[in-house]
Amino acid sequence: MTKKKIVFLKSLTLLNDMHPLKIRSDPKYDNNPLINKEAIDEALKKYGHKLDISDIDKTAQIDINMEGHFLAQNIPEIPSIIIDKICTKEVLNNILGKHDDITHIALSTYASGMDKTIEIIKEIQSEFNDRELYIGGIGTVYPHLQELVKTKNICFGTGVNWLREKFNLKLITNNEFKIPEIYANLGGFPVPLKTAYLVTQLGCTQNCDFCITNNLIKYNPFSNHDKIIKFIEDISSKSNKDISLFFCEPNAFYPEFVWKRVFKHFIENPKKIENNIFMIFFGSLNHINKFDLETIQKKSPLKFLIISYGIESTLRGGYFKNKGNPRKIIERINNLGIFTIHTYIIGLLFQTKKTIDLEIKSNLKFNSDLIVVNSFKPVPRTTLYNQLKVENRLHDRNLPPEFLYMQGFLPFNHEYLGGGFDILKYLYKAYYESEKKIIDVYDNFANKLFEMFSITNSRKIKRAAKVLMGLSKVNFNSFQKRMPNDLIVIYQNRLENTERKFMNL
């Protein structure tokens, strides 16, 4: 019998592949009525001189194959290779050409980069049809992939036990799941930051109407407090430097009682680890507000460094994850020196030409350090996708698959805003107003790092602050060409004040 060996790959859009400027100049999209290039021109006419168009709409490229590492470490009986690169035909042929003993291919798929994923699958089926192909991830809910791969080879949920069953291995229980040790630079971060990636749960407790996670993966908090404490102490013991810890979870610090025990342990035993652990995570404001953030930040070696929270919309009562007083919660987090990233969505089904301006203005009332605006992308099996399907508003298969999850493109006919690139002018307005509000995100981050340095004396933090100050100076050249004079003055004053702070550290 052939000895089994598996390679773990992932496929998604390459950095900046789907920038509207590239779409506008590409003749292959000229004759498709669903791709309205005129709307790109309209958006550029309104905001092209106000934005650094060439530098926006970029997707942060995260090369680390977190799914592959998690799967491999929980299926140790099968030899495996994990490829920490976005899979292209070149990468695929190189890997499989060098390793002819690979018998199985596990491909993590995404909603973005559907065209690339289709190419990869067809290449495998054409050139490597002697290898067994399994696919999983968000991309599996799209018919484009379901038509290419046999249903029995598609994992529509959690992959570990699904793969273990394929290999005739014993299924594992929650207690037997391992937290893998994964290290890489922090994806999308402007400063090289060596980071450990942490997985303590699968799925999400929330049920947002636009999100596929809760429909695809059954919520499974497989880690108890002892397992998490051991993981943190282990990664600390292997390094004499401060560590950045990125939570690979849509909502960190669940279950609440588990993480309260974790934090309590390190508050009561601060010398158990000798370095600082800087935590970077996605979280809901309502949930994070339940923790004693002040004590954790001051008395524990665990430090909250960056939180990203989805406001999503301020209209129609908002989402449950922001229950309470989000402005007050954000103020509390800011006062602790935590860098705050605020996201919201343009193009939700209830937004109209009148209320979309209110949406933009309302989100500017939150004092976050960075505002990230996303255009709505309906994903199969979600509540909003199902609504669009019932109303017969989704575009048909004449839409090239690369547009299914593209920033600044609505792959459906919006009742009030139009479709396709009609959303782009609203998105660009949101970008512009957000930059006017934030002024200088690099300066905001540098100053938060100064606050963190004051309580940790971390050289890693000080170095990152210095790099961010340099980026702030570089960004000023673009800012002063596009922005009102009063904001240019504020930017200059901040540059000088931050420079003085750094000199006094």
Closest CA to 373 of 429, 323, 419: 429
Q: Give the rounded percent of residues in the chain with a pLDDT score beyond 70.
A: 96
> How many residues comprise the chain?
505
pLDDT at position 236: 92
Distance, CA of 358 to CA of 388 (rounded, Å): 24
Structure tokens at 236: 């600390």
Residue 175 has pLDDT above 60, yes or no: yes
Closest CA to 140 of 162, 116, 113, 108: 108
List of residues 6+ apart from 1 with CB closer than 8 A: none
Judge contact between 148 and 439, C-beta under 8 A.
no
Residue 1 has pLDDT above 50, yes or no: no
Please, what's the largest Cα pairwise distance for the chain? 74
The arithmetic mean of pLDDT across residues 470-483, rounded, is 94
pLDDT at position 159: 94
The arithmetic mean of pLDDT across residues 108-112, rounded, is 92
List of residues 6+ apart from 421 with CB closer than 8 A: 20, 35, 36, 37, 39, 40, 43, 408, 409
Q: Report the amino acid identity of residue 92.
A: L
DSSP β-bridge partners for residue 371: 342
- Look over the chain and give the mean of its residue pLDDT values, rounded to a whole number: 92
Distance, CA of 294 to CA of 120 (rounded, Å): 48
The string of DSSP letters for 274-325 reads SS-EEEEEE--HHHHTTS-HHHHHHHSSEEEEEEEEEEE-SSTT--GGG-S-
The tens digit of pLDDT for each residue in 389-421 reads: 999 999 989 999 999 999 999 999 999 999 999
At 184, the pLDDT band (50, 70, 90 cuts) reads confident
pLDDT at position 196: 92
pTM of the model: 0.93
The arithmetic mean of pLDDT across residues 147-168, rounded, is 95
pLDDT at position 186: 78
List of residues 6+ apart from 433 with CB closer than 8 A: 360, 361, 364
The tens digit of pLDDT for each residue in 369-393 reads: 999 999 999 999 999 999 999 999 9
The tens digit of pLDDT for each residue in 69-82 reads: 999 999 999 999 99
Distance, CA of 3 to CA of 474 (rounded, Å): 54
Residue with tokens 């090239």: 400
Angle between helices 114-127 and 89-98 (to 10 degrees): 30
pLDDT at position 460: 87
Residue 361 has pLDDT above 80, yes or no: yes
pLDDT at position 62: 65
Distance, CA of 394 to CA of 391 (rounded, Å): 8
The arithmetic mean of pLDDT across residues 31-51, rounded, is 94
H/E stretch holding 392 reads none
Structure tokens at 150: 């046999």
Residue 14 has pLDDT above 60, yes or no: no
Structure tokens at 302: 């665990």
H/E stretch holding 76 reads none
Q: Give the rounded percent of residues in the chain with a pLDDT score beyond 90.
A: 80
pLDDT at position 60: 55
- 160-167 contacts: CB < 8 A, separation 24 or more? 160/70, 160/71, 160/74, 160/75, 162/136, 163/71, 163/75, 163/106, 163/134, 164/75, 166/134, 167/4, 167/75, 167/77, 167/78
Residue 178 has pLDDT above 90, yes or no: yes
Structure tokens at 381: 């099996």
Give the Å distances, CA to CA, from 198 to 15, 119, 250: 24, 31, 12
The tens digit of pLDDT for each residue in 305-348 reads: 999 999 999 998 788 899 989 999 999 999 999 999 999 999 99
Judge contact between 205 and 219, C-beta under 8 A.
yes
Residue 107 has pLDDT above 70, yes or no: yes
